Amino acid sequence: MIETTVGRARAADADRLTALIQASTTYHGDYAAMIDGYRVTPEYIARHEVSLASDPATGDLLGFYALIREPAELDLMFVADPAQGRGVGQQLIAHMLERAREAGITTVKVVSHPPAERFYLRMGAERVGTFPARARITWDRPELRFTV
């Protein structure tokens, strides 16, 4: 497991969060439409609870998540390609669940990127349905729920 520091994102982090999303090879090919042109804005960071994981020695961005509180949903979660499989995602989920618990949230919805479903299930989420295709995302996505 890689050592990380998890803390609240600031408006100034918007561009590097966007860059991490756009660099994600998981979203190349068939899934590119999900992130095509997507940007994390300073306004988004101000409106939602966005936390990032960084390397405490270098400050390098390793991943981030965004928790929408009402209704509770894990809206974004990305781990940098070089940090994949090194425990960063697990640390981000643990942090998100702790923040949700502190806020009195009892369940957190996740509409998952299909290849990420197994990760969320390993982290304790349960599948509760399927989110239907719409607009530019032309495939159904797994809908999951964390019980906090």
pLDDT tens by residue, the chain, 148 residues: 888 999 999 999 999 999 999 999 887 777 777 788 899 999 999 999 999 999 999 999 999 999 999 999 999 999 999 999 999 999 999 999 999 999 999 999 999 988 899 999 999 999 999 988 887 777 789 999 999 9
Q: Using CA atoms, how far apart are residues 71 and 108, in angstroms rounded to an integer?
A: 8
Tokens of 103: 């806020």
Strand partners, 146: 108
Going by C-alpha positions, the residue among 11, 93, 6, 84 that lies closest to residue 51 is 6
- pLDDT for res 4: 93
What is the model's pTM? 0.92
In the prediction, which pLDDT does 18 show? Answer: 97
What's the per-residue H, E or C state across 3-60? CCEEEECCHHHHHHHHHHHHHCHHHCHHHHHHCCCCCCCHHHHHHCEEEEEECCCCCC
- Pick the closest to residue 140 from 28, 36, 34 (CA basis): 34
Structure token pair of residue 36: 């095509």
| Rg of the chain taking only CA atoms, in angstroms | 15
Looking at residue 136, its pLDDT comes to 75
Class of the CATH-defined domain 5-147: alpha beta
Domain boundaries, the chain: 5-147
Angle at 111 (CA atoms; ends 26, 24), nearest 5 degrees = 15
Separation CA 20–CA 24 (nearest Å): 6
Closest C-alpha among 9, 21, 12 to residue 99: 9
